[in-house]
Structure 1
Protein backbone atom coordinates (compact mmCIF):
# COMPACT_ATOMS: atom_id res chain seq x y z
CA UNK A 1 0.00 0.00 0.00
CA UNK A 2 1.48 3.31 -1.13
CA UNK A 3 -1.33 5.70 -0.19
CA UNK A 4 -4.93 6.17 0.91
CA UNK A 5 -7.07 7.51 -1.92
CA UNK A 6 -10.20 9.56 -1.21
CA UNK A 7 -12.68 8.32 -3.83
CA UNK A 8 -15.76 10.26 -2.69
CA UNK A 9 -16.16 12.60 0.26
CA UNK A 10 -19.14 14.74 1.28
CA UNK A 11 -21.36 15.31 4.29
CA UNK A 12 -23.28 12.05 3.94
CA UNK A 13 -20.57 9.50 3.22
CA UNK A 14 -16.88 8.96 2.52
CA UNK A 15 -15.28 6.23 0.42
CA UNK A 16 -11.57 5.51 0.74
CA UNK A 17 -9.38 3.15 -1.26
CA UNK A 18 -6.62 1.43 0.69
CA UNK A 19 -4.70 -0.88 -1.59
CA UNK A 20 -7.21 -3.35 -3.03
CA UNK A 21 -9.82 -2.55 -0.38
CA UNK A 22 -12.50 0.13 -0.26
CA UNK A 23 -13.73 1.52 3.06
CA UNK A 24 -17.18 3.09 2.99
CA UNK A 25 -18.16 5.26 5.95
CA UNK A 26 -21.84 6.28 5.89
CA UNK A 27 -23.73 8.58 8.24
CA UNK A 28 -26.89 6.56 7.57
CA UNK A 29 -26.54 2.97 8.76
CA UNK A 30 -29.66 2.03 6.81
CA UNK A 31 -27.88 2.70 3.52
CA UNK A 32 -25.07 0.31 4.46
CA UNK A 33 -27.63 -2.31 5.50
CA UNK A 34 -29.39 -1.98 2.13
CA UNK A 35 -26.07 -2.31 0.32
CA UNK A 36 -25.08 -5.49 2.14
CA UNK A 37 -28.52 -7.02 1.59
CA UNK A 38 -28.69 -6.10 -2.08
CA UNK A 39 -25.25 -7.48 -2.92
CA UNK A 40 -26.24 -10.78 -1.32
CA UNK A 41 -29.40 -11.00 -3.45
CA UNK A 42 -28.22 -9.60 -6.79
CA UNK A 43 -27.61 -12.22 -9.55
CA UNK A 44 -24.79 -10.17 -11.08
CA UNK A 45 -21.10 -9.76 -10.13
CA UNK A 46 -20.71 -7.63 -6.98
CA UNK A 47 -17.75 -6.79 -4.72
CA UNK A 48 -16.71 -9.24 -2.03
CA UNK A 49 -17.60 -7.98 1.46
CA UNK A 50 -14.46 -8.25 3.58
CA UNK A 51 -15.96 -7.05 6.85
CA UNK A 52 -18.75 -4.87 8.19
CA UNK A 53 -18.37 -2.91 11.41
CA UNK A 54 -20.92 -0.06 11.50
CA UNK A 55 -20.58 2.62 10.31
CA UNK A 56 -17.83 1.14 8.07
CA UNK A 57 -18.18 -1.38 5.26
CA UNK A 58 -15.01 -2.89 3.76
CA UNK A 59 -15.25 -4.38 0.28
CA UNK A 60 -12.70 -5.78 -2.16
CA UNK A 61 -11.91 -3.98 -5.40
CA UNK A 62 -13.50 -5.58 -8.44
CA UNK A 63 -11.33 -6.42 -11.47
CA UNK A 64 -11.45 -4.40 -14.66
CA UNK A 65 -12.18 -0.71 -15.15
CA UNK A 66 -15.34 1.39 -15.03
CA UNK A 67 -17.29 1.81 -18.24
CA UNK A 68 -16.51 5.49 -17.96
CA UNK A 69 -17.14 8.70 -16.03
CA UNK A 70 -19.84 11.29 -16.39
CA UNK A 71 -18.43 14.18 -18.39
CA UNK A 72 -15.74 12.07 -20.07
CA UNK A 73 -15.86 9.96 -23.26
CA UNK A 74 -16.21 6.25 -22.62
CA UNK A 75 -13.52 4.06 -24.13
CA UNK A 76 -15.46 0.86 -23.43
CA UNK A 77 -16.43 -1.18 -26.48
CA UNK A 78 -20.00 -1.43 -27.79
CA UNK A 79 -19.91 -5.08 -26.72
CA UNK A 80 -19.06 -4.07 -23.14
CA UNK A 81 -22.01 -1.67 -23.08
CA UNK A 82 -24.23 -4.43 -24.46
CA UNK A 83 -22.92 -6.77 -21.75
CA UNK A 84 -23.93 -4.15 -19.20
CA UNK A 85 -27.44 -4.20 -20.68
CA UNK A 86 -27.51 -7.99 -20.34
CA UNK A 87 -26.41 -7.81 -16.68
CA UNK A 88 -29.07 -5.20 -15.93
CA UNK A 89 -31.73 -7.41 -17.49
CA UNK A 90 -30.60 -10.29 -15.26
CA UNK A 91 -30.98 -8.02 -12.25
CA UNK A 92 -34.41 -6.81 -13.33
CA UNK A 93 -35.60 -10.39 -13.89
CA UNK A 94 -34.52 -11.49 -10.41
CA UNK A 95 -36.97 -11.90 -7.49
CA UNK A 96 -37.89 -8.61 -5.88
CA UNK A 97 -35.87 -7.46 -2.86
CA UNK A 98 -37.88 -6.80 0.30
CA UNK A 99 -38.07 -3.00 0.18
CA UNK A 100 -38.55 -0.10 -2.25
CA UNK A 101 -35.42 1.60 -3.54
CA UNK A 102 -34.56 5.02 -4.90
CA UNK A 103 -35.98 4.05 -8.28
CA UNK A 104 -39.27 3.08 -6.63
CA UNK A 105 -40.52 6.38 -5.29
CA UNK A 106 -44.25 6.95 -5.81
CA UNK A 107 -45.41 9.14 -8.68
CA UNK A 108 -46.96 11.55 -6.16
CA UNK A 109 -43.77 11.91 -4.12
CA UNK A 110 -41.57 12.20 -7.20
CA UNK A 111 -43.81 14.84 -8.77
CA UNK A 112 -43.79 16.92 -5.60
CA UNK A 113 -40.00 16.70 -5.33
CA UNK A 114 -39.53 17.57 -9.00
CA UNK A 115 -41.79 20.61 -8.83
CA UNK A 116 -40.02 21.82 -5.69
CA UNK A 117 -36.58 21.47 -7.28
CA UNK A 118 -37.67 23.20 -10.49
CA UNK A 119 -39.01 26.11 -8.48
CA UNK A 120 -35.75 26.34 -6.51
CA UNK A 121 -33.61 26.26 -9.65
CA UNK A 122 -35.52 29.15 -11.21
CA UNK A 123 -36.06 31.22 -8.04
CA UNK A 124 -32.34 31.11 -7.18
CA UNK A 125 -31.23 31.79 -10.74
CA UNK A 126 -29.28 28.54 -10.96
CA UNK A 127 -30.67 27.66 -14.39
CA UNK A 128 -32.63 29.64 -17.02
CA UNK A 129 -36.40 29.33 -16.66
CA UNK A 130 -36.87 28.09 -20.25
CA UNK A 131 -34.33 25.31 -19.71
CA UNK A 132 -36.08 24.17 -16.54
CA UNK A 133 -39.56 24.43 -18.09
CA UNK A 134 -38.64 22.43 -21.18
CA UNK A 135 -37.00 19.66 -19.17
CA UNK A 136 -39.91 19.58 -16.74
CA UNK A 137 -42.14 18.92 -19.76
CA UNK A 138 -39.86 16.14 -21.00
CA UNK A 139 -39.68 14.63 -17.49
CA UNK A 140 -43.45 14.21 -17.37
CA UNK A 141 -43.25 10.96 -19.36
CA UNK A 142 -41.39 9.29 -16.46
CA UNK A 143 -44.19 10.12 -14.01
CA UNK A 144 -46.37 7.08 -14.65
CA UNK A 145 -47.18 3.74 -13.02
CA UNK A 146 -44.56 1.04 -13.63
CA UNK A 147 -44.07 -2.65 -12.82
CA UNK A 148 -41.59 -2.94 -9.97
CA UNK A 149 -38.35 -4.85 -10.58
CA UNK A 150 -35.08 -5.35 -8.67
CA UNK A 151 -33.24 -2.08 -9.38
CA UNK A 152 -29.75 -0.89 -8.50
CA UNK A 153 -30.98 2.67 -8.03
CA UNK A 154 -27.67 4.48 -8.73
CA UNK A 155 -26.38 2.72 -11.81
CA UNK A 156 -24.08 5.44 -13.09
CA UNK A 157 -21.34 4.26 -15.46
CA UNK A 158 -18.62 4.68 -12.82
CA UNK A 159 -20.35 1.89 -10.86
CA UNK A 160 -20.19 -0.71 -13.67
CA UNK A 161 -16.83 -2.42 -14.28
CA UNK A 162 -15.70 -4.43 -17.29
CA UNK A 163 -12.63 -6.32 -18.45
CA UNK A 164 -12.67 -6.39 -22.23
CA UNK A 165 -16.24 -7.14 -23.20
CA UNK A 166 -17.19 -8.83 -19.90
CA UNK A 167 -18.87 -7.20 -16.91
CA UNK A 168 -16.75 -7.96 -13.85
CA UNK A 169 -18.58 -6.09 -11.11
CA UNK A 170 -21.29 -3.60 -10.20
CA UNK A 171 -20.65 -1.51 -7.09
CA UNK A 172 -22.45 0.93 -4.74
CA UNK A 173 -25.79 -0.73 -3.96
CA UNK A 174 -26.99 1.60 -1.18
CA UNK A 175 -29.98 2.83 -3.26
CA UNK A 176 -31.08 -0.65 -4.41
CA UNK A 177 -34.60 -2.00 -4.06
CA UNK A 178 -37.89 -2.32 -5.87
CA UNK A 179 -38.23 0.27 -8.62
CA UNK A 180 -38.59 1.31 -12.25
CA UNK A 181 -36.40 -0.64 -14.68
CA UNK A 182 -36.09 2.34 -17.03
CA UNK A 183 -34.61 4.46 -14.23
CA UNK A 184 -31.58 2.11 -14.16
CA UNK A 185 -31.18 2.20 -17.95
CA UNK A 186 -31.44 5.98 -17.99
CA UNK A 187 -28.95 6.39 -15.15
CA UNK A 188 -26.38 4.18 -16.89
CA UNK A 189 -26.61 6.19 -20.12
CA UNK A 190 -26.94 9.67 -18.58
CA UNK A 191 -24.50 11.89 -20.44
CA UNK A 192 -23.68 9.01 -22.79
CA UNK A 193 -26.88 8.98 -24.81
CA UNK A 194 -25.03 7.63 -27.85
CA UNK A 195 -24.50 4.33 -25.97
CA UNK A 196 -28.21 3.70 -25.33
CA UNK A 197 -28.58 1.59 -28.48
CA UNK A 198 -25.79 -0.77 -27.37
CA UNK A 199 -27.33 -1.12 -23.90
CA UNK A 200 -30.78 -1.89 -25.34
CA UNK A 201 -29.28 -4.56 -27.61
CA UNK A 202 -27.87 -6.31 -24.54
CA UNK A 203 -30.99 -5.73 -22.49
CA UNK A 204 -32.86 -7.76 -25.09
CA UNK A 205 -36.35 -6.30 -25.02
CA UNK A 206 -38.22 -3.27 -26.23
CA UNK A 207 -37.91 -0.23 -24.00
CA UNK A 208 -39.75 3.07 -24.14
CA UNK A 209 -37.06 5.51 -25.26
CA UNK A 210 -39.25 8.52 -24.45
CA UNK A 211 -39.38 7.42 -20.81
CA UNK A 212 -35.60 6.99 -20.72
CA UNK A 213 -35.18 10.50 -22.12
CA UNK A 214 -37.65 11.70 -19.51
CA UNK A 215 -35.55 10.13 -16.77
CA UNK A 216 -32.45 11.89 -18.13
CA UNK A 217 -34.24 15.22 -17.62
CA UNK A 218 -35.81 14.25 -14.31
CA UNK A 219 -32.65 12.87 -12.73
CA UNK A 220 -30.66 15.91 -13.86
CA UNK A 221 -33.23 18.40 -12.54
CA UNK A 222 -33.29 16.62 -9.18
CA UNK A 223 -29.50 16.38 -8.99
CA UNK A 224 -28.36 19.94 -9.60
CA UNK A 225 -29.08 21.39 -6.16
CA UNK A 226 -27.61 18.37 -4.32
CA UNK A 227 -24.43 18.59 -6.39
CA UNK A 228 -24.05 22.32 -5.79
CA UNK A 229 -24.66 22.00 -2.03
CA UNK A 230 -22.14 19.15 -1.74
CA UNK A 231 -19.33 20.88 -3.59
CA UNK A 232 -19.70 19.32 -7.05
CA UNK A 233 -20.13 21.13 -10.37
CA UNK A 234 -23.20 20.05 -12.36
CA UNK A 235 -22.22 22.44 -15.16
CA UNK A 236 -18.93 20.64 -15.91
CA UNK A 237 -18.71 19.52 -19.56
CA UNK A 238 -20.92 16.51 -20.27
CA UNK A 239 -22.61 16.57 -16.86
CA UNK A 240 -26.16 17.33 -15.69
CA UNK A 241 -26.54 20.84 -17.10
CA UNK A 242 -25.26 19.71 -20.50
CA UNK A 243 -27.75 16.82 -20.38
CA UNK A 244 -30.55 19.32 -19.74
CA UNK A 245 -29.39 21.51 -22.60
CA UNK A 246 -29.30 18.52 -24.95
CA UNK A 247 -33.02 17.99 -24.29
CA UNK A 248 -33.83 21.42 -25.77
Structure 2
Protein backbone atom coordinates (compact mmCIF):
# COMPACT_ATOMS: atom_id res chain seq x y z
CA UNK A 1 0.00 0.00 0.00
CA UNK A 2 1.41 3.39 -1.00
CA UNK A 3 1.79 5.91 1.77
CA UNK A 4 -1.02 8.47 1.75
CA UNK A 5 -0.17 12.12 2.32
CA UNK A 6 -2.67 14.93 2.80
CA UNK A 7 -1.59 17.73 0.47
CA UNK A 8 -4.38 20.16 1.33
CA UNK A 9 -7.67 19.86 3.15
CA UNK A 10 -10.41 22.25 4.20
CA UNK A 11 -14.19 22.32 4.40
CA UNK A 12 -14.65 22.62 0.61
CA UNK A 13 -12.32 19.90 -0.71
CA UNK A 14 -9.23 17.83 -0.03
CA UNK A 15 -6.25 16.62 -2.05
CA UNK A 16 -4.38 13.42 -1.21
CA UNK A 17 -1.17 12.04 -2.69
CA UNK A 18 -0.85 8.27 -3.15
CA UNK A 19 2.50 7.49 -4.75
CA UNK A 20 2.64 9.40 -8.04
CA UNK A 21 -1.11 9.94 -8.12
CA UNK A 22 -3.14 12.80 -6.66
CA UNK A 23 -6.73 12.29 -5.56
CA UNK A 24 -8.92 15.39 -5.41
CA UNK A 25 -12.09 14.94 -3.37
CA UNK A 26 -14.73 17.58 -3.98
CA UNK A 27 -18.44 17.39 -3.23
CA UNK A 28 -19.12 20.16 -5.77
CA UNK A 29 -19.29 18.21 -9.03
CA UNK A 30 -19.85 21.35 -11.10
CA UNK A 31 -16.49 22.66 -9.87
CA UNK A 32 -14.78 19.39 -10.80
CA UNK A 33 -16.46 19.52 -14.23
CA UNK A 34 -15.03 23.00 -14.80
CA UNK A 35 -11.59 21.94 -13.60
CA UNK A 36 -11.50 19.00 -16.01
CA UNK A 37 -12.68 21.16 -18.89
CA UNK A 38 -10.17 23.91 -18.06
CA UNK A 39 -7.26 21.45 -18.06
CA UNK A 40 -8.47 20.11 -21.39
CA UNK A 41 -8.65 23.59 -22.92
CA UNK A 42 -5.48 25.07 -21.40
CA UNK A 43 -2.60 25.42 -23.92
CA UNK A 44 0.01 24.77 -21.20
CA UNK A 45 1.20 21.56 -19.50
CA UNK A 46 -1.32 20.24 -16.94
CA UNK A 47 -1.66 17.01 -14.94
CA UNK A 48 -2.88 13.94 -16.83
CA UNK A 49 -6.41 12.91 -15.88
CA UNK A 50 -6.10 9.24 -14.86
CA UNK A 51 -9.69 8.51 -13.91
CA UNK A 52 -12.76 10.06 -12.38
CA UNK A 53 -15.25 8.51 -9.96
CA UNK A 54 -17.34 11.25 -8.29
CA UNK A 55 -16.53 12.77 -5.91
CA UNK A 56 -12.90 11.81 -6.69
CA UNK A 57 -10.69 13.01 -9.54
CA UNK A 58 -7.37 11.15 -10.00
CA UNK A 59 -4.49 13.08 -11.56
CA UNK A 60 -0.89 12.22 -12.38
CA UNK A 61 1.98 13.96 -10.62
CA UNK A 62 3.62 16.75 -12.60
CA UNK A 63 7.39 16.43 -13.17
CA UNK A 64 9.82 19.04 -11.91
CA UNK A 65 9.81 21.09 -8.72
CA UNK A 66 7.57 23.91 -7.53
CA UNK A 67 8.60 27.44 -8.45
CA UNK A 68 8.69 28.28 -4.74
CA UNK A 69 6.81 28.23 -1.45
CA UNK A 70 5.18 30.95 0.65
CA UNK A 71 7.45 32.10 3.46
CA UNK A 72 10.59 30.79 1.77
CA UNK A 73 12.84 32.44 -0.83
CA UNK A 74 12.34 31.04 -4.32
CA UNK A 75 15.49 29.29 -5.54
CA UNK A 76 14.20 29.10 -9.12
CA UNK A 77 16.31 30.90 -11.69
CA UNK A 78 15.18 34.07 -13.49
CA UNK A 79 14.90 31.90 -16.61
CA UNK A 80 12.45 29.59 -14.83
CA UNK A 81 10.36 32.58 -13.78
CA UNK A 82 10.50 33.84 -17.36
CA UNK A 83 9.30 30.44 -18.59
CA UNK A 84 6.32 30.73 -16.24
CA UNK A 85 5.62 34.19 -17.66
CA UNK A 86 5.72 32.88 -21.24
CA UNK A 87 3.28 30.09 -20.33
CA UNK A 88 0.90 32.59 -18.74
CA UNK A 89 0.99 34.77 -21.82
CA UNK A 90 0.06 31.73 -23.91
CA UNK A 91 -2.77 30.91 -21.51
CA UNK A 92 -4.11 34.46 -21.44
CA UNK A 93 -4.03 34.68 -25.25
CA UNK A 94 -6.02 31.45 -25.67
CA UNK A 95 -9.82 31.46 -26.16
CA UNK A 96 -11.39 31.92 -22.74
CA UNK A 97 -13.78 29.33 -21.28
CA UNK A 98 -17.46 30.32 -21.34
CA UNK A 99 -17.71 30.63 -17.54
CA UNK A 100 -16.31 33.27 -15.13
CA UNK A 101 -13.45 32.23 -12.87
CA UNK A 102 -12.21 33.55 -9.55
CA UNK A 103 -10.28 36.24 -11.41
CA UNK A 104 -13.50 37.38 -13.07
CA UNK A 105 -15.73 38.30 -10.17
CA UNK A 106 -18.10 41.26 -10.78
CA UNK A 107 -16.59 44.55 -9.69
CA UNK A 108 -19.48 45.51 -7.42
CA UNK A 109 -19.25 42.17 -5.60
CA UNK A 110 -15.49 42.45 -5.28
CA UNK A 111 -15.72 46.01 -3.97
CA UNK A 112 -18.34 45.04 -1.38
CA UNK A 113 -16.18 42.14 -0.17
CA UNK A 114 -13.12 44.36 0.04
CA UNK A 115 -14.91 47.02 2.09
CA UNK A 116 -16.37 44.36 4.39
CA UNK A 117 -12.94 42.79 4.99
CA UNK A 118 -11.41 46.20 5.69
CA UNK A 119 -14.02 46.84 8.34
CA UNK A 120 -13.41 43.39 9.82
CA UNK A 121 -9.63 43.86 9.99
CA UNK A 122 -10.09 47.10 11.89
CA UNK A 123 -12.88 45.81 14.17
CA UNK A 124 -10.89 42.68 15.08
CA UNK A 125 -7.73 44.75 15.60
CA UNK A 126 -5.79 42.61 13.11
CA UNK A 127 -4.04 45.65 11.62
CA UNK A 128 -3.89 49.36 12.51
CA UNK A 129 -6.72 51.35 10.94
CA UNK A 130 -4.38 53.66 9.02
CA UNK A 131 -2.60 50.67 7.44
CA UNK A 132 -5.93 49.16 6.40
CA UNK A 133 -7.10 52.46 4.92
CA UNK A 134 -3.92 53.04 2.95
CA UNK A 135 -4.02 49.49 1.59
CA UNK A 136 -7.67 50.03 0.61
CA UNK A 137 -6.64 53.11 -1.37
CA UNK A 138 -3.87 51.12 -3.06
CA UNK A 139 -6.28 48.32 -4.00
CA UNK A 140 -8.57 50.74 -5.83
CA UNK A 141 -6.53 50.50 -9.06
CA UNK A 142 -7.57 46.85 -9.50
CA UNK A 143 -11.28 47.75 -9.44
CA UNK A 144 -11.59 48.64 -13.10
CA UNK A 145 -12.99 47.03 -16.28
CA UNK A 146 -10.78 44.37 -17.88
CA UNK A 147 -10.83 42.38 -21.09
CA UNK A 148 -11.80 38.75 -20.37
CA UNK A 149 -8.94 36.26 -20.68
CA UNK A 150 -8.36 32.58 -19.94
CA UNK A 151 -7.16 32.79 -16.33
CA UNK A 152 -6.03 30.13 -13.87
CA UNK A 153 -7.57 32.00 -10.95
CA UNK A 154 -5.57 30.35 -8.15
CA UNK A 155 -1.97 30.75 -9.27
CA UNK A 156 -0.29 29.94 -5.97
CA UNK A 157 3.47 29.69 -6.43
CA UNK A 158 3.38 26.00 -5.43
CA UNK A 159 0.98 25.33 -8.32
CA UNK A 160 3.69 26.02 -10.93
CA UNK A 161 6.36 23.40 -11.67
CA UNK A 162 9.62 23.86 -13.54
CA UNK A 163 12.69 21.78 -14.41
CA UNK A 164 15.77 23.86 -15.07
CA UNK A 165 14.58 26.69 -17.30
CA UNK A 166 11.45 24.94 -18.60
CA UNK A 167 7.91 25.00 -17.26
CA UNK A 168 6.70 21.41 -16.77
CA UNK A 169 3.19 21.89 -15.48
CA UNK A 170 0.54 23.98 -13.73
CA UNK A 171 -1.85 22.29 -11.30
CA UNK A 172 -5.12 23.05 -9.46
CA UNK A 173 -7.46 24.51 -12.10
CA UNK A 174 -10.63 24.55 -9.99
CA UNK A 175 -10.87 28.37 -10.10
CA UNK A 176 -10.08 28.76 -13.82
CA UNK A 177 -12.31 30.70 -16.19
CA UNK A 178 -12.73 34.15 -17.68
CA UNK A 179 -10.99 36.84 -15.69
CA UNK A 180 -8.46 39.63 -15.39
CA UNK A 181 -5.06 38.32 -16.57
CA UNK A 182 -3.23 40.68 -14.21
CA UNK A 183 -4.83 38.81 -11.31
CA UNK A 184 -2.82 35.71 -12.31
CA UNK A 185 0.43 37.66 -12.54
CA UNK A 186 -0.19 39.23 -9.14
CA UNK A 187 -1.21 35.94 -7.52
CA UNK A 188 2.00 34.22 -8.59
CA UNK A 189 4.26 36.99 -7.29
CA UNK A 190 2.36 38.31 -4.26
CA UNK A 191 4.67 36.54 -1.78
CA UNK A 192 7.72 36.74 -4.09
CA UNK A 193 7.52 40.28 -5.40
CA UNK A 194 11.23 40.62 -6.37
CA UNK A 195 10.64 38.01 -9.11
CA UNK A 196 7.99 40.08 -10.91
CA UNK A 197 10.49 41.52 -13.40
CA UNK A 198 11.72 38.06 -14.44
CA UNK A 199 8.11 36.86 -14.81
CA UNK A 200 7.24 39.87 -16.98
CA UNK A 201 10.34 39.30 -19.12
CA UNK A 202 8.83 35.99 -20.19
CA UNK A 203 5.31 37.43 -20.37
CA UNK A 204 6.61 39.89 -22.97
CA UNK A 205 3.42 41.96 -22.97
CA UNK A 206 3.12 45.46 -21.47
CA UNK A 207 1.18 45.51 -18.19
CA UNK A 208 0.09 48.21 -15.75
CA UNK A 209 2.28 47.70 -12.68
CA UNK A 210 -0.06 49.82 -10.56
CA UNK A 211 -2.81 47.26 -11.16
CA UNK A 212 -0.54 44.36 -10.19
CA UNK A 213 0.43 46.19 -6.99
CA UNK A 214 -3.26 46.82 -6.34
CA UNK A 215 -4.07 43.13 -6.80
CA UNK A 216 -1.30 42.25 -4.33
CA UNK A 217 -3.07 44.36 -1.74
CA UNK A 218 -6.64 43.41 -2.63
CA UNK A 219 -6.07 39.66 -2.97
CA UNK A 220 -4.12 39.50 0.30
CA UNK A 221 -6.82 41.46 2.14
CA UNK A 222 -9.51 39.01 1.08
CA UNK A 223 -7.25 36.07 1.90
CA UNK A 224 -6.83 36.89 5.58
CA UNK A 225 -10.29 35.73 6.66
CA UNK A 226 -10.20 32.67 4.37
CA UNK A 227 -6.94 31.56 5.97
CA UNK A 228 -8.31 32.11 9.45
CA UNK A 229 -11.58 30.27 8.86
CA UNK A 230 -9.77 27.31 7.24
CA UNK A 231 -7.33 26.78 10.07
CA UNK A 232 -4.32 28.66 8.70
CA UNK A 233 -2.39 31.49 10.32
CA UNK A 234 -2.22 34.65 8.15
CA UNK A 235 0.51 36.00 10.43
CA UNK A 236 3.13 33.37 9.52
CA UNK A 237 6.41 34.88 8.22
CA UNK A 238 6.00 35.84 4.58
CA UNK A 239 2.25 35.33 4.77
CA UNK A 240 -0.76 37.57 4.19
CA UNK A 241 -0.21 40.00 7.07
CA UNK A 242 3.45 40.50 6.14
CA UNK A 243 2.46 41.20 2.53
CA UNK A 244 -0.01 43.87 3.60
CA UNK A 245 2.59 45.55 5.79
CA UNK A 246 5.23 45.40 3.04
CA UNK A 247 2.93 47.01 0.51
CA UNK A 248 3.39 50.37 2.16
| TM-score, normalised relative to structure 2 | 0.98
- 2:28 alignment partner in structure 1: 28
Residue 202 of structure 1 pairs with residue 208 of structure 2: no
User: Does 2:84 match 1:84?
Assistant: yes
Higher alpha-carbon deviation: 177-186 or 104-113: 104-113
Instruction: Output aligned runs, 1:40-189, within 5 Å.
Output: 40-189=40-189
* Equivalent residue, structure 2, for 1:191: 191
Structure 1 segments of 4 or more deviating over 3 A?
Answer: none
CA deviations on 1:26-79 (whole Å, 9 max, x unpaired) are: 132222111101000000000000011111110000000110111111111100
Question: Contact between 1:70 and 1:190, CA under 8 Å: does it hold in 2?
Answer: no
Report SS of the residue matched to 1:8. Answer: strand
Tell whether the 8 Å contact from 1:87 to 1:167 is kept in structure 2 after alignment.
Answer: yes
The 3-state SS of whatever aligns with 1:132 is helix
Whole-Å Cα distance in 2 between the matches of residues 70 and 190 of structure 1?
9
What is the deviation of 1:10? 1.1
Deviation for aligned residue 1:131: 1.8
Alpha-carbon distance in structure 2 between the residues aligned to 1:126 and 1:247: 16
**1:205, distance to aligned residue in structure 2 (A):** 1.1
Q: Check whether the contact 1:67–1:162 (CA below 8 A) recurs between aligned residues.
A: yes
Q: CA RMSD in A?
A: 0.9
Matched residues, number = 248
Q: Post-superposition shift, 1:127?
A: 2.1
Per the alignment, residue 4 of structure 2 pairs with 4
SS in 1 for 2:47: coil
| CA apart distance, 1:2 | 4.3
Q: What SS does the aligned partner of 2:59 have?
A: strand
Once residues 131 and 161 of structure 1 are traced to their aligned partners in structure 2, the CA distance between those partners, rounded to angstroms, is 34
Q: TM-score, normalised by structure 1?
A: 0.98
The runs of 5 or more residues in structure 1 that have no matched partner are none
Distance of 1:85 and 1:241 partners within structure 2:
26
- Alignment-derived partner of residue 226 in structure 2: 226
Higher mean C-alpha deviation, range 133-142 or range 21-30: 21-30
